[in-house]
Structure 1
Amino acid sequence: MVSDVRPLVGSKAMTVDTSPGTEDDQDPAVAAVPVSGTQVVDAAVQAAETVLTRRFGSAIGLVEPEALPGSGPATVVRARIAASPFGLPRTLVIKHYPDAPPRGVADPFAQEAVSYQLFTALPAEDRMCPELLAHDGPLRVIVVDDLGRAPTLWDKLRGQDARLAERALLSWARSLGRLHATTAGREADFEALLRRLGGFVPDEDTTPAVACARLPTLLAEAVGVTTPDNVRTYAENVCEASASSPYRAFSPVDLSPDNNLVTSGGVHFLDFERGVVRNALVDAAHLRVPFATCEDARALPSGMSEAMIAAWKAEVSGVWPALDDNEVLSAHLLDHQMLLVWVTTWADLGGAAAEVRPNRVAALVSWWKDLGTYAERGGRQEVAAHAREVAKALDARFGPGLELPLYPAFR
């Protein structure tokens, strides 16, 4: 996705503090996968015991480990503390990255550890994630507070209650805005922590530039749509401006709904393996193109995106006053909505159009139609016309009659 400082208005001083904290347990929603003494789990537990003992100066034993599901490179384990004099939470979560990446390649362990350091340095009310309890570079282990068996945002979206799903989405948008507001202007802090841990500071993502350069040819070959020169120029200008945007803040990058826990204190982000500082408007574009990078993306009911944008705006307008102007914000959102749709279409169709699943093409059709609607409202008639042509051609090529279903909670 697009990577892209202004001082944080009214910010509080940051001091790195890894003192323990607790969260209320939540009602069970998704059962963890119980395990016995497998080697990977044992290695994670042993690494966690070692780093906790070093951190607190006394032996801390962990019992009853259970592996938690995940698709990343880390072994993720929940474990209970056998006994501790330090007031640590009853249970904690371990993320162990046994394999280091090749030199010069971004390290998911370093990015996650530094992300947690960045947030643990904030006051508890501004922390949109579990608290970091301990970490160790050589052992490649992170130990964080356990938020309990709370439901994820994905659980709410596939549930039966539309009202609960709406509240969860608005809470997610507010949490995303608060995450951006509290980390605006912290790029130097993030990169300094990353270097200290031996991490590789990634360059700006070139995927948007590649997509803007190559999507017109792909659209012509795959669905027979010609991209007008003025639309191509607009996309290239947006791509260039996005990379140098002043609206930079921390981003988890992976905004999948299953990476967010819905707790009594709001939505908390969990997965920072790709965490970076980038243009916050790239994340905000997902409020118009919801969960675009998820394979099973669905539609939201009418008006939901606008409500989510309002919730996000309420959190960031104090840091970036220009975005309090609806016209300014709408123009920025249109730019990044278009960029996200272009990048996603390039990623989905790129060279293997015949193999794209129908439900994924239905999502592309929906997003191009929405882009046409917003572009017309924003006075970008040439973008609107092109977007509608692409949507119609995609439907004719892979349909016809493709429709993106709503998330189950809204059916």
Structure 2
Amino acid sequence: MLLGAPQVLRTQSRCDVVRASVRGGDVPTVILKHFRDDPVLGLDEWTGLELLGRLNLTTAPGLIAGDVATRLFVLEDLGTGPSLEELLTGNDPRAASGGLLAVARLTGQMHARTLSVQADFDLIRHTLSPRPSRVRIDNARYLLDHEERLHRWVTATGAREDPGTHEDLEVLARELADPGPFLSLTHGDMAPGNAIFTPGGPRLLDFEYCGMRHALYDTLMWLLVVPLPDELISRAELTYRIACSQGCDAAQVDSTWMRARASVVAARTVNMFQWIPPRALEKDREWAPGFSERAALLRHLARCRAVLEPANPVPALARTLASLESRLIERWPETPAFTWPAFR
């Protein structure tokens, strides 16, 4: 394969992404991705893309070739098309809503098809280079290893920490480490900018944080993380659940479904207080474009409370978070909520 006319698409601390023309090939251009500083993430993405290719799933760009020694792999070029983020920042609410539902359906289909592929994922990953540990174990350990960060927030705000909070965090860690019937290949970083719309339909990009973990981890994008209208959240959840149910019987059982969504939402809400330090009490900063740290924390707490109402596997932690939410609302009474331009 002879390449020419490189176009730099992205340069970050961990990787470079370049589009290059192909001379005399079957395709006009390809994408080159080079992981300089984090080979673990690079090989995780390689594994996820190779596995999707073996399953004939077009969820992501196809993996064409790669070289472990140089930390470089070649991907199918999906071309240009609007991302979900671009639709949300546009002025067409129908396009933004339809785009989100299409991504929810695509994600559910991917999970339904990858519920029993742990051994295949491990084999590919081990062949490339053995991974230190499974990503879902890393997620579970992080929740417990940084428990004191949540405690610092409670202390700094004068909130009340329920005596059973530690035990509830252990419950969540077990759910993350062993998702049972919900174990599937997940994207791991479902930001709106990582979903694009091509002539062939929606596709997911940047599988750097992919891995075999709780399927509903990916649904956090609309359930919790991204500020969206409540009605659209419900539609996205239903769309995803219908698609996922095609391969996951557990998704059809209301009690099982409600506990699963509550567990991943509660765990991610705690993660927010582990990632953002209490200095946000003194000074607000940007969390995402147009969305501040304080607004993000309040959003997570409010959504977590709503999700836990019908099914609450962690009542002590819920009381701790409710106390923390009350204290933060008192401190930040005028924190503006974020609304995407498409829904203003």
TM-score, normalising length from structure 1? Answer: 0.75
- Give 1:231-380 correspondences, 5 Å limit: 231-246=165-180, 247-291=182-226, 299-349=227-277, 353-357=281-285, 359-378=292-311
Pick which of 348-357 and 312-321 moved more: 348-357
Residue 93 (str. 1) matches residue 38 (str. 2): no
What CA distance in whole angstroms lies between the structure 1 residues aligned with 2:52 and 2:247? Answer: 17
The alignment of Structure 1 onto Structure 2 pairs a total of residues equal to 333
Tell me the equivalent position of 2:107. Answer: 176
CA distance in 1, matches of 2:92, 2:239: 21
Q: What is the aligned partner in structure 2 of residue 393 from structure 1?
A: 327
Q: Is the 8 A contact 2:22 2:28 kept in 1?
A: yes
The answer on whether the counterparts of 2:169 and 2:317 sit within 8 Å (CA) in structure 1 is no
Q: Which moved more, 1:156-165 or 1:192-201?
A: 192-201
Mapped to 1, the partners of 2:150 and 2:194 lie a distance apart of 33
Q: What are the equivalent positions in structure 2 for 1:66-145 lying under 5 Å apart?
A: 66-71=7-12, 73-84=14-25, 88-97=26-35, 99=36, 107-123=40-56, 126-145=57-76
Corresponding residue SS for 1:176? helix
Segment of structure 1 superposing worse, 225-234 or 339-348? 225-234
Question: 3-state DSSP class of the match of 1:133?
Answer: strand
Q: Is the 8 A contact 1:172 1:266 kept in 2?
A: no
Contact 1:150 1:261 in 2 (8 A): yes
In structure 1, runs of 5+ residues without a counterpart are 1-59, 292-298
Over residues 255-293 of structure 1, what are the superposed CA-to-partner deviations in whole Å (9 max), with x where a residue is unaligned?
A: 2211221223332111122221112122233331134xx
Cα RMSD after superposing both structures = 2.3
Aligned-partner residue type, residue 200 of structure 1: R
Q: Percent identity?
A: 23
Q: Do residues 148 (structure 1) and 52 (structure 2) align?
A: no
Structure 1 Cα separation of the partners of residues 339 and 31 of structure 2: 33
Query: 1:218 maps to what in 2?
Result: 152
d(CA) in 1 for partners of 2:78, 2:261: 33
- Describe the shift of the 1:196–1:379 C-alpha distance in structure 2 as closer, same or farther (beyond 3 A): closer
Q: CA deviation at 1:383?
A: 5.7
Aligned partners of 1:230, 1:62: CA distance in 2, in Å? Answer: 59
Q: Which residue of 1 aligns with 2:341?
A: 408
SS in 2 for 1:401: coil
Report the structure number with the largest CA radius of gyration.
Answer: 1
The one-letter amino acid paired with 1:197 is: L
Q: Distance in 2 between matches of 1:100 and 1:197?
A: 17
Q: Which residue of 2 aligns with 1:23?
A: none
Q: Is the 8 A contact 2:176 2:213 kept in 1?
A: no
Q: 1:165 aligns with which of 89, 96, 100?
A: 96
Q: 1:303 is paired with a residue of what secondary structure?
A: helix
CA distance, structure 2, for counterparts of residue 266 and residue 172 of structure 1: 9
- CA–CA separation in structure 1 for the residues paired with 2:11 and 2:201: 22
Aligned residue number for residue 52 of structure 1: none
Q: Report Cα offsets for 1:301-356 as digits up to 9, x if no partner.
A: 12111111111111211322121122321122112111111111221126665344
**What TM-score results when the alignment is normalised by the length of structure 2?**
0.88
> Can you give the 5+ residue segments of structure 2 that lack an aligned partner in the other structure?
287-291
Summarize deviations over 1:167-201 as a string: whole Å, max 9, x none: 11111111211221222111111121112112424
Q: Name the structure 1 match of 2:289.
A: none
Q: Distance in 1 between matches of 2:308 and 2:335?
A: 22
Give the deviation of 1:80 after TM superposition.
1.6
Shift of the alpha carbon at 1:230? 3.5
Runs of 4+ in 1 over 4 A off after TM superposition: 350-353, 379-386
Contact 2:33 2:72 in 1 (8 A): yes
Does the residue aligned with 2:212 lie in a helix, a strand or coil?
strand
Equivalent of 2:126 in 181, 184, 195: 195
Counterpart mapping for 1:9-48 below 5 A? none
Following the alignment from structure 1 to structure 2, what is the Cα–Cα distance between the partners of residues 386 and 135? 48
